[in-house]
Amino acid sequence: MRRQRNVKIVATLGPASETYDTIRALHEAGADVFRLNMSHGSHDDIRAKHHVIREVERDLGSPIAILADLQGPKLRVGTFADGPHALQDGAAFRFDLDPTEGDINRVCLPHPEIFQALEPGATLLVNDGKIRLMVEACGDDFADCAVIAGGEISNRKGVNVPDVVLPLAALSEKDRADLEFVCALGVDWLALSFVQRAEDVAEARALAKGRAAILAKIEKPAAVEHFNDILAVSDGIMVARGDLGVELPVQKVPPIQKRLIRQCRAAAKPVIVATQMLESMIESPMPTRAEVSDVAAAIYEGTDAIMLSAESAAGHYPVEAVRTMDNVAIEVEADPNYPTILAASRRADGHSVADAIVAAAREIAETTDIKAICCFTQSGTTALLTARERPGVPIFAMTSLLGTARRLCLSWGCNCVMTGELERFRGAVVSAVRAARDGGFAAPTDQIVVIAGVPFNMPGTTNILRIAPCDERLIYTTDPG
């Protein structure tokens, strides 16, 4: 399905968007990737949504990526005997392992790993950071704290520990079961929560066994600190600004977002900007001006994808939210300043033959009357390298592997087209020309750039670039291959 913009849209599915008609409408409105949130719904619910997405994909003949977002360990306080309590600024409060119901002075925090990692001076955040406490004394089974910013504390509120790396695995037992379920089901991407170090990603990759690409969610200060190592072992990144904005001062999040996007682009790995992008559209058919500016800023920064969470999963206007993102993206990318901004932030980590070829393809396309860049790819690497260049013409990712086409739905500018297995370069050129013409991107009098690796069907062999006429008769008279 032809889009009028390059940035991709991820839409989370939920109670507001689980029927065939709604999911199809979301895709037609602009959703390229559907997110299944494993924090909500049973395996039967997830299976049903997966089935509907694949039905829509089959009926529209358009590859669709499915991203399963694992819940990760959840840190929560216990329960209170007499309902919620209001903690006052300056008051003393204790967390401990005693399972007795809590009161105004204490509550159980049933996570011994937290106490093992705490030190005096560390910060504890409760209820999405609304309550802030500082540890004054601690041991293996308690933490005595002073309330820095008070508020109402109640049963099973979430706890964040921003100052320390917790000795917790990113994958809980639930996550392990969910991972195996969705990999067997056939998802394309796995989003890994609670990532603190590269080893967390390596563990998920070992369990996935190549059945899905691994996307690391950056939502903890430790992940920001170790980002280079995490990026090196991940297939993609999600800048999860919700938890990141709880555990870090909110003013630090925008520059972190910008920096992480640039690093992902340099590494040719897709990056999603997520959380609260159009949150007012949960209840309203119109976004706020600030939300539109936030979405636009992420697009100007060069992100591969922007994401809707509750807006499409539980909101009253899921299709309108996707359409709003689509319209904002089209408008931003039509701005004459947009390619200038992308060019100014262009840099590459690699210096291989493939790097040189995709850079040359982009430069040729931008300095001559080329209508599209068509790249043949098995693993997806050639398409990712081409997308990193952010060329000013459409990218066609041609592959014989449906899994590769689906995964590339997350990558900037990639129009994924299925093709049969090829043995000769001339056949590849003809397939590329037909895709460009059928997609309405080129006319018979136009030219395109074709990138491929010879011999075919061998990952990592990108070694040829051809400027091809879009008149097939000229291909047969000018191409010796």
Domains of the chain from N-terminus onward? 8-73+169-334 (3.20.20.60), 85-160 (2.40.33.10), 353-478 (3.40.1380.20)
CB-CB neighbours of 190 under 10 Å = 28
Judge contact between 193 and 219, C-beta under 8 A. yes
| CA nearest neighbour of 16 among 295, 274, 241, 308 | 308
Q: In what order do the strands lie in the sheet with 142-149?
A: 106-108, 92-96, 142-149, 131-139, 123-126, 159-160
Helix (H, G, I), strand (E, B) or coil at 351: coil
What are the pLDDT digits (tens) for 162-192? 988 898 889 999 999 999 999 999 999 999 9
In eight-state DSSP terms, residue 287 is -
Q: Tell me how far apart the alpha carbons of residues 105 and 148 are, in angstroms, rounded to a whole number.
A: 15
76 is catalytic: yes
What contacts 431, CB < 8 A, 6 or more positions away? 398, 419, 420, 422
Give residue 478's pLDDT.
56
| Half-sphere exposure in the Cβ direction for 293 (13 Å, CA) | 4
CA distances from 419 to 177, 398, 434, 453 (A): 35, 6, 11, 15
Judge contact between 19 and 345, C-beta under 8 A. no
- Candidate list 24, 106, 217, 258, residue with the active-site label: 217
Q: Which residues pair with 151 in a beta bridge?
A: 87
Amino acid 82 reads D
- Candidate list 8, 35, 49, 437, residue with the active-site label: 35
CB-CB neighbours of 249 under 10 Å = 8
Q: What is the H or E stretch that residue 78 is in? A: none
Give residue 477's pLDDT.
58
2 is catalytic: no
What are the pLDDT digits (tens) for 408-454? 999 999 999 998 887 788 888 889 999 999 989 999 999 999 998 87
Judge contact between 102 and 84, C-beta under 8 A. no
CA dihedral 405, 409, 412, 418 (to 10 degrees): 30
Give residue 350's pLDDT.
66
Q: Tell me how far apart the alpha carbons of residues 480 and 293 are, in angstroms, rounded to a whole number.
A: 51
- Candidate list 12, 275, 303, 381, residue with the active-site label: 275
Amino acid 31 reads A
- Candidate list 3, 76, 262, 426, residue with the active-site label: 76
Q: Tell me how far apart the alpha carbons of residues 274 and 251 are, in angstroms, rounded to a whole number.
A: 17
Give residue 425's pLDDT.
82
| CA nearest neighbour of 143 among 164, 162, 124, 166 | 124
Residues of the chain with pLDDT under 50: 480
Give residue 423's pLDDT.
72
Judge contact between 449 and 464, C-beta under 8 A. no
Q: Tell me how far apart the alpha carbons of residues 464 and 451 are, in angstroms, rounded to a whole number.
A: 6
Only one residue has tokens 């070829």, namely: 357
Helix (H, G, I), strand (E, B) or coil at 84: coil
Judge contact between 93 and 147, C-beta under 8 A. yes
Contacts 24+ apart (CB under 8 A), 197-201: 197/165, 197/222, 197/223, 197/226, 197/229, 197/230, 198/226, 198/229, 198/230, 198/232, 198/233, 200/169, 200/170, 200/171, 200/230, 201/170, 201/230, 201/233, 201/234
Give residue 348's pLDDT.
66
Helix (H, G, I), strand (E, B) or coil at 327: helix
| CA nearest neighbour of 422 among 452, 457, 453, 397 | 457
Give residue 364's pLDDT.
96
Q: Per the structure block, which two tokens stand in for 27? A: 């895709």
Report how far apart the first and last C-alpha atoms of the chain are (Å, whole number).
31
346 is catalytic: no
Only one residue has tokens 């000013």, namely: 392
477 is catalytic: no
Q: Is 415 exposed, middle or buried (0-12, 13-18, 19+ CB in 10 A)?
A: buried
Give residue 453's pLDDT.
83
Judge contact between 359 and 33, C-beta under 8 A. no
CA dihedral 180, 183, 186, 192 (to 10 degrees): 120
